[in-house]
Amino acid sequence: MDIIVLKPSATEDDIRHIVKKLESKGLKANISKGTERTIIGVIGDTSRVSEDEENAIKAIEAVESVTRIIKPYKLASREFKKDDTVINVRGIPIGGKKVQVVAGPCAVENRTIVLNIAEKVKAAGASFFRGGAFKPRTSPYSFQGLGVEGLKILAEARELTGLPIVTELMDPRDIDVVAEYADVIQIGARNMQNFRLLLEVGQTDKPVLLKRGLSATIKEWLMAAEYIMSKGNQNVILCERGIRTFETATRNTLDLSAVPLLKELTHLPVVVDPSHGVGKWNLVIPMSRAAVAAGADGLLIEVHTNPEEALSDGEQSIKPDVFKQLMEEIRPIAEALGRTV
């Protein structure tokens, strides 16, 4: 008893009655109201619900059907929601017909560089601007970001260009200040299974871009999304950024097969980060083309005006003129699939 579909005639009183019954059994309800049907997703250990108790729910006049979801991820599953989720960020839809491109430097280094890059990626057609104010690094001696000062610079870039901001949250203690400045909160690969952090962003109303863990399976990734959604935040965007394999020629192995597979398993938008996926700037354009062809809803691209001097990930950052070329090359591929860029 994981999905309860109500009849079109169901009233608010009917919904409250069903929710009360579920709560009496120690379960929670996630209510999704569509144009024709209201669906109640049942959250909790439904294995304890007996057949007789399930039949009692089916007997309620307002109930059209009751279905059990076998998959451990319920709210993220395609069974829970048949239609693709489209997330609106400042009027820009992620998961719709348009392939959205998020571009910007890996790290916020200083105001001049960031504003310059923001103007250039905006002119080339980017829909979002990205940059790390808090930077998780493998080495504690590497540049760790500017913190709140970096967030303020990102906000200035948004004011200058109109591009919504995507930036990473690392610590639950920073959630309020990051949510104040960011339009989309990014959860990095190293924090994909930081469950305390996932539960915290699940209580915000900010869209969350959830990157795949370094060696995470698809199931583990979707279960991480479930943590966020179980707290009420349904605006989760999945980001494939490459996984760790035995191959050392590239930074990671970009698993583009994950894109069509996720499209079958979940209703959530799926974007691809080819920059981290390959770690080499000259491979970013071909993998971006491939990601769009595979059905990705968006791309995350690292762009820097002077990669040689970048404080973070210069090797995988492309220059603004190369980013403009990337936008031109993915456009006909998107159009061939009935989409736009």
Q: What is residue 136's predicted lDDT score, i.e. its pLDDT?
A: 62
Q: Does residue 115 sit within a domain?
A: yes
Mean pLDDT of 139-148: 74
Q: Does residue 320 sit within a domain?
A: yes
Q: What is residue 68's predicted lDDT score, i.e. its pLDDT?
A: 81
Q: Does residue 73 sit within a domain?
A: no
Indicate whether 246 pLDDT > 90: yes
- This prediction's pTM: 0.86
Same domain, residue pair 103 and 52: no
Residue 116 CB neighbours (<10 A) = 16
Q: What is residue 26's predicted lDDT score, i.e. its pLDDT?
A: 87
Same domain, residue pair 323 and 246: yes
pLDDT over 70 for what percent of the chain? 97
Q: What is residue 140's predicted lDDT score, i.e. its pLDDT?
A: 72
94-123, pLDDT tens digit by residue? Answer: 999 999 999 999 999 999 999 999 999 999
Q: Does residue 233 sit within a domain?
A: yes
- Tell me which of 33, 67, 101 is where a domain ends: 67
Burial of 256 per CB tally in 10 Å (0-12, 13-18, 19+): buried
Same domain, residue pair 204 and 291: yes
Question: What is the length of the chain?
Answer: 341
**8 Å CB contact between 145 and 135:** yes
Q: What is residue 72's predicted lDDT score, i.e. its pLDDT?
A: 84
Domain around 51: 3-67
Mean pLDDT of 276-301: 98
Q: Does residue 157 sit within a domain?
A: yes
Same domain, residue pair 116 and 54: no
Same domain, residue pair 184 and 268: yes
Same domain, residue pair 330 and 296: yes
Model confidence at 150, pLDDT cuts 50, 70, 90, reads very high
Q: Does residue 72 sit within a domain?
A: no
Domain containing 47 — which CATH number?
A: 3.30.70.1140
How many folded domains does the chain comprise? 2
Same domain, residue pair 33 and 135: no
Tell me the angle at which helices 284-294 and 258-265 cross, rounded to the nearest 10 degrees: 30
211-228, pLDDT tens digit by residue? Answer: 999 999 999 999 999 999
Q: What is residue 97's predicted lDDT score, i.e. its pLDDT?
A: 96
| Residue 253 or 46, more confident | 253
Mean pLDDT of 286-307: 97
Q: What is residue 135's predicted lDDT score, i.e. its pLDDT?
A: 67
Mean pLDDT of 169-194: 95
Q: Does residue 259 sit within a domain?
A: yes
Same domain, residue pair 200 and 284: yes
Nearest to 166 by CA among 87, 241, 103: 103
Indicate whether 1 pLDDT > 60: no
338 in the Ramachandran plot: left (φ > 0), alpha (ψ -120 to 50) or beta?
left
List beta partners, residue 29: 42
Same domain, residue pair 46 and 111: no
Same domain, residue pair 151 and 229: yes
Contacts of 127 (CB under 8 A, 6+ apart): 92, 98, 100, 101, 102, 163, 164, 298
Same domain, residue pair 91 and 54: no
Contacts of 282 (CB under 8 A, 6+ apart): none
Extract the tokens encoding 14.
């009917």
Same domain, residue pair 52 and 179: no
Q: Does residue 79 sit within a domain?
A: no
Query: Rounded to an integer, what is the distance from CA 218 to the centroid of its chain?
Result: 14
Domain containing 283 — which CATH number?
A: 3.20.20.70
41-94, pLDDT tens digit by residue? Answer: 888 877 777 788 888 889 999 999 998 877 888 889 998 888 999 999 999 999
Q: What is residue 46's predicted lDDT score, i.e. its pLDDT?
A: 78
Indicate whether 296 pLDDT > 90: yes
